[in-house]
Amino acid sequence: MAKSYTAQDISVLEGLEPVRKRPGMYIGGTGKPGLHHLIWEIVDNSVDEAMNGHATAIEVVLHKDGESITVIDNGRGIPVDKYKDGRSVLEVILTTLHAGGKFDPGNYETSGGLHGVGSSVVNALSSDFQVLIKRDGKVYEQAYQFGKPLDKVKASGKSTRTGTEIFFRPDETIFEDISFDAEWIEKRLDYSAYLHPGLKLIFKNELTKKKKEFLQEGGIVELLARVQKESKQPPVHIDSISIQAKGSHPEMPRMEVALQWTEDTKEEILAFTNGVPNPFGGTHEAGIRDGVLKAVRAYFDLHNPAPKSLAISSEDIREGLKVVISVFLVAPQFQGQKKEKLNNPFVKGSVSTIVRQEMERYLNGHSNTADAICQRIMQAAKARAASRSAMQKISRKRVLNTRLNLPGKLADCSSSSPEESELFIVEGDSAGGNAKQGRNRRTQAILPLRGKVLNAQRESFAKVSVNKELKDIIDALGCGIGDNFSTKSLRYHKVILLMDADSDGHHIATLMLTFFYRYMPELIEKGHLYIAQPPLFRIDYGNETFWVLDEKQRDKILKDLEGKRKKKISVQRFKGLGEMMARTLKDTTLDPDKRRLLRVEIPKGDEEETDTVICDLMGKDPSVRFSFIMENAETLAEVDL
């Protein structure tokens, strides 16, 4: 039984003014993630109530306006009894900012130690906030605006049930946009269900009149199975390895891990603290990596499955490994306001020790599984060794003679000064042919891409470095790759992607961007990477010609011309670069005096975000990839050159 709770135990710390003054400090920002953070603050309180064993279901309602939310739980209900200053405890909780601290933990059996704390922040940032409590046979209600109560708590009826219902509408003067994204809410609830097995999470969307329920009895083992399925690659061993530890460290009452090797090349670790995802990992992620590496190395040392000549690196061990780790901490510390990264230093060692011990025990007790894992790791080590020797050959040749090593299909420029040289990477042979005819031979080189470009995000370094098309690009640029990259030997100071303005073209451009971002980030950082903008339409009006980039621009020009309506108007749509006359391509896209180029930039301060965006999108649905490049075309700096 928890110690009984009294109103006096809650100490008033601060008013809500600081929240309205600097919302970013409390919810990370006032953009879309910050807006949705309001929901998570409320839901997390209800989840806490459930984790303490007092609630079994939580419902999130997105109302018809798309701009307001209700969160309902069947917990004990926030207490409404009188606090020492005469106000109700409910009001104190909803108007007190518990800056960085927590309620006296002696009275609560919470894992996060922040019971009800975030609700005051949501209250402060809402133009309307209503709370309804069912408790002690009664219903109580209170309404707020901008964090200020409109009245006292009022008993409004009877109920045999208990629970808390919170309605809020974010303050539109604080947030950039207050419309919620149903998909975001759904995804978060979907994940939460795995982390709190047995807890029923309901999402009611009044916009679509749809209701979804998330309930996962299988917990993170089930989540891992889903991660593996989504990778579309078979597992290396059928049963995943799962570890549950209780009370190993006084500050970490619970920890759960599920892991499995797969034939996928990507390592994936989903990390959670107190049921909240940490997209940038942190000390629990570091701990699991360390523990797994140590356990596997110990197993290799004991059983010697690998030939002496085969060196096994930590990358080999991690290849294709899928992990879900969920830790529960009494006082979690995070880096970043949005709890993206766990920071408690003791967690690394603690997780590593438990994982190492449990994994070693498991491997030694399950020799079939252990064998399969060893084979998978050795396969990765062999592939890496093969690609390393291929890479060494490439760089040795380059030292001997850079020119000799150039790819056969490169039409190089005659200038040997990188400052004035440009490389056009062109999709397809026919487009490549046109570009060759239309180029300035002295300063412009053309490299046509024929085969399939690998998705550099999904494939291992080993595969990327032997892919013919990517290898040709590496050779043509002459500047090496990965750790060996150096702009000193870059042969062209402008590297320009020239692709069709259709979805295939966008796809290839996205794959190329991913490749450069992963393996030659400096090329982007130093401003050497560009995207060409070939026209999609040609409009002739008498003897005037307009080159038009997209539909929007076309419609605008046509509207203007309709107004005059004196001469004949004709519109031609280019099916692809291959169909364009060489002369046209030169005049619109190649000629430095007439063309427009987009310079590719990684937005400053957003490096981590760019990283996750690329990680998230490159693995999955092609339509998502398409919209990624379309949307981000706006964030590319536009330069006229």
Q: Which of 36, 37, 76, 538 binds ligand 0RA (CB under 6 A)?
A: 76
Alpha helices (H) in 480-621, listed in sequence order? 503-519, 521-525, 551-564, 582-585, 607-618
Distance of closest approach, residue 571 Cβ to ligand 0RA, in angstroms: 60
Closer to ligand 0RA by CB, 73 or 319: give it. Answer: 73
Choosing from 164, 273, 369, 589, the residue that interacts with ligand 0RA (CB under 6 A) is: 164
The residue within the footprint of ligand 0RA, chosen from 116, 428, 478, 619 (CB under 6 A), is 116
Taking CB under 6 A as the criterion, the residue among 45, 111, 262, 533 binding ligand 0RA is 45
Among 78, 185, 236, 342, binds ligand 0RA (CB under 6 A): 78
Return the number of the residue (164 or 533) whose C-beta is nearest ligand 0RA.
164
Nearer to ligand 0RA, 42 or 288 (CB): 42
Task: State which of residues 41, 59, 73, 422 lies at the interface with ligand 0RA (CB under 6 A).
Answer: 73
Q: How far is the CB of 74 from ligand 0RA (least distance, A)?
A: 9
Burial of 253 (C-beta count, 10 Å sphere; 0-12/13-18/19+):
middle
Which residues form the catalytic set?
427, 500, 502, 504
41 counts as binding ligand 0RA under rule CB under 6 A:
no
Question: How many Å apart are CA 398 and CA 393, to the nearest integer?
Answer: 9
| Of 5, 146, 334, 546, the one binding ligand 0RA by CB under 6 A | 5
Structure-derived torsion over alpha carbons of residues 278, 282, 286, 291, reported in degrees to the nearest 10 = -60
String of DSSP letters for 504-526? HHHHHHHHHHHHHHHH-HHHHHT
- Tell which one of 115, 134, 188, 339 touches ligand 0RA (CB under 6 A): 115
Stretch that binds ligand 0RA, among 68-76, 202-210, 364-372, 559-567 (CB under 6 A): 68-76
Residues in binding contact with ligand 0RA, number by CB under 6 A: 12
Q: Which is nearer to ligand 0RA, 170 or 576 (CB)?
A: 170
Phi, psi for 335 (deg, rounded to 5): -95, 135
Secondary structure (3-state) at 495: strand
Which residues in 215-344 belong to E strands, given as ranges? 241-249, 252-261, 268-273, 276-277, 321-328, 334-335, 341-342
Please choose, out of 42-50, 181-189, 305-313, 624-632, the segment that lies near ligand 0RA by the rule CB under 6 A: 42-50
Tokens for 4? Answer: 């009984």
- Piece of 14-22, 72-80, 349-357, 531-539 that binds ligand 0RA (CB under 6 A): 72-80
- Under a CB-based contact definition with an 8 Å cutoff, are residues 60 and 53 in contact? no
Strand pairing category for 334-335 and 341-342: antiparallel
CB of 77 to ligand 0RA, least distance (A): 6
Among 75, 291, 320, 480, indicate the residue that binds ligand 0RA (CB under 6 A). 75
Rounded to 5°, angle at Cα 429 from 427 and 432: 70
Positions of E strands within 219-368: 241-249, 252-261, 268-273, 276-277, 321-328, 334-335, 341-342
Helix, strand, coil abundance in the chain, percent, nearest 5: 40, 20, 35
Of 80 and 406, CB closest to ligand 0RA: 80
Question: At 548, which helix (H) or strand (E)?
Answer: strand 544-548
The interface region with ligand 0RA, picked from 45-53, 278-286, 454-462, 499-507 by CB under 6 A, is: 45-53
CB of 310 to ligand 0RA, least distance (A): 55
Q: How many helices (H) and strands (E) does the chain have?
A: 20, 25
Distance CA 241, CA 361 (A): 11
Coil, helix or strand at residue 226: helix
* Interaction of residue 46 with ligand 0RA, rule CB under 6 A: yes
Task: Kindly state the smallest distance separating residue 142's Cβ from ligand 0RA, in Å.
Answer: 14
Q: Which stretch binds ligand 0RA (CB under 6 A): 69-77, 364-372, 459-467, 514-522?
A: 69-77
Instruction: Give residue 240's region: left, alpha or beta (phi > 0; psi -120 to 50).
Output: beta
Strand 321-328 relative to strand 268-273: parallel, antiparallel, unpaired? parallel
What is the spatial distance between Cα 188 and Cα 276, in angstroms, rounded to a whole number?
9
Please state, in angstroms and rounded to a whole number, the distance separating the CA atoms of residues 125 and 138: 28
Which range in 14-22, 43-51, 235-243, 496-504 contacts ligand 0RA by CB under 6 A?
43-51
Closest distance to ligand 0RA from the beta carbon of 164 (Å)? 4
Q: Is 316 helix (H, G, I), strand (E, B) or coil?
A: helix
| Those residues with Cβ within 8 angstroms of residue 125's Cβ, 6 or more apart along the chain or in another chain | 19, 20, 23, 27, 38, 147, 170, 171, 174, 175
Cβ-based nearer residue to ligand 0RA, 78 or 590:
78
> Rounded to an integer, what distance in angstroms lies between the CA atom of residue 520 and that of residue 483?
9
Least distance CB 73 / ligand 0RA (angstroms)? 5
Q: In the complex, which residue's CB is closest to ligand 0RA?
A: 45
The answer to whether 277 contacts ligand 0RA (rule: CB under 6 A) is no
Q: How far is the CB of 549 from ligand 0RA (least distance, A)?
A: 52
Q: How far is the CB of 45 from ligand 0RA (least distance, A)?
A: 3
In the complex with ligand 0RA, the residue whose CB is nearer, 122 or 495, is 122
Look up residue 117 and give its two tokens. Answer: 């704390």
* Contact set with ligand 0RA (CB under 6 A): 5, 45-46, 49, 73, 75-76, 78-79, 115-116, 164
